[in-house]
Structure 1
């Protein structure tokens, strides 16, 4: 009961007071408050409004910071790992092995497989690759231009070519031939570009090794 209501109800003890009239007044003005009470209510309302605004501002700032962090993570380059390391990471992820089977704990460094050497030399990048993600390193490719045949041909150079479809040897290796390309031009990379590992497995003494531009 408000102070106003208490004061008006006290008047009902006087005989000369019209109780019915007072009841009508209370019904019409029962929610009336003094200036002091209105001031307090306004201060409370203002406090709630300010707190709500501050909360909105904080939420907006947090949302902006989260968006910035996401953007930074997306822009941050993932570690680049060799293809052999990527194969081992996926093998573990597919439950076909464990990190203890990667050969990382062999005391003889020289006897470790290439992927194990890379992991040991780049352990931080490896951990990020396993937990966040990675991109696979694209090996440097090379054209192999036959030196003598290219010299004898005044129009075209001849490059070593590998068949990329079903025409393989009995051991599953690509059959090799030659592709002609106009002087100063290079043949398509998809069947005339070789990795260093492929080149090392062949006898290429009669070929000029030319880097393929990435």
Structure 2
């Protein structure tokens, strides 16, 4: 017996009211025999979420100006080709955009020059400058890290809530 059937069987017996008949449990079980809980929305990468959002109803009847480079279009087509079921489900029922893992970059070797008396770690900020305070450090995606010459840094994953 499924969870749905157990919950349904615990309901009170059907009654007749001035609004008409309630269905009895046997009728409900027949109608809902193939019922499945609502599935979670598929998770898609950010670039696919942006692509799907371009299919939305344009405001004031204007056409959406979707411009992408050949490489971006190829990346989208490759993803769609490899994830057809997820793509169609996202188009039909909706989607969630995956949250990329973020990292702090911490200097592996500590070299302090200047006014920092008690510095234990140095972190990289968005301007690629050192900062002794983790809260001032930039949160980088793996893609950003791969696109720059980071040198000798330790990847420190960003925890939820940071």
2: distance between equivalents of 1:111 and 1:197?
A: 14
Cα 1:86–1:56 shift into 2, 3 Å:
same
SS at match of 2:150: coil
Unaligned runs of 5+ in 1: 1-51, 163-174, 182-186
SS at match of 1:78: coil
Match of 2:110 in 1: 149
On the 8 A contact 1:141/1:195 being kept in 2, the answer is yes
TM-score by length of 2: 0.62
CA RMSD of aligned residues (A): 4.0
State the Cα deviation string for residues 32-85 of structure 1 (Å, max 9, x = none): xxxxxxxxxxxxxxxxxxxx68932349965xx77xx69x22xx2110000000
Match of 2:100 in 1: 139
Matches within 5 A, 1:8-23: none
Structure (1 or 2) with the larger CA radius of gyration: 1
Matches within 5 A, 1:187-206: 187-188=134-135, 191-206=137-152
Cα 1:180–1:94 shift into 2, 3 Å:
farther
Task: Give the structure with the larger helix fraction.
Answer: 1
Match of 1:161 in 2: 125
Query: Is 2:32 the partner of 1:80?
Result: no
Match of 1:126 in 2: 87
Unaligned runs of 5+ in 2: 1-15, 59-63
Bigger RCO of structures 1 and 2 (CA < 8 A, at least 6 apart): 2
Match of 1:177 in 2: 129
State the Cα deviation string for residues 120-157 of structure 1 (Å, max 9, x = none): 11111111101101110011111111122369986420
2: distance between equivalents of 1:150 and 1:138?
A: 34
How far 1:161 sits from its partner (Å)? 1.0
Query: Is 2:23 the partner of 1:57?
Result: yes
1: distance between equivalents of 2:95 and 2:46?
A: 11
2: distance between equivalents of 1:178 and 1:60?
A: 69
How far 1:112 sits from its partner (Å)? 5.4
2: distance between equivalents of 1:191 and 1:93?
A: 36
1: distance between equivalents of 2:144 and 2:68?
A: 24
How far 1:211 sits from its partner (Å)? 2.6
SS at match of 2:121: strand
2: distance between equivalents of 1:203 and 1:80?
A: 30
TM-score by length of 1: 0.49
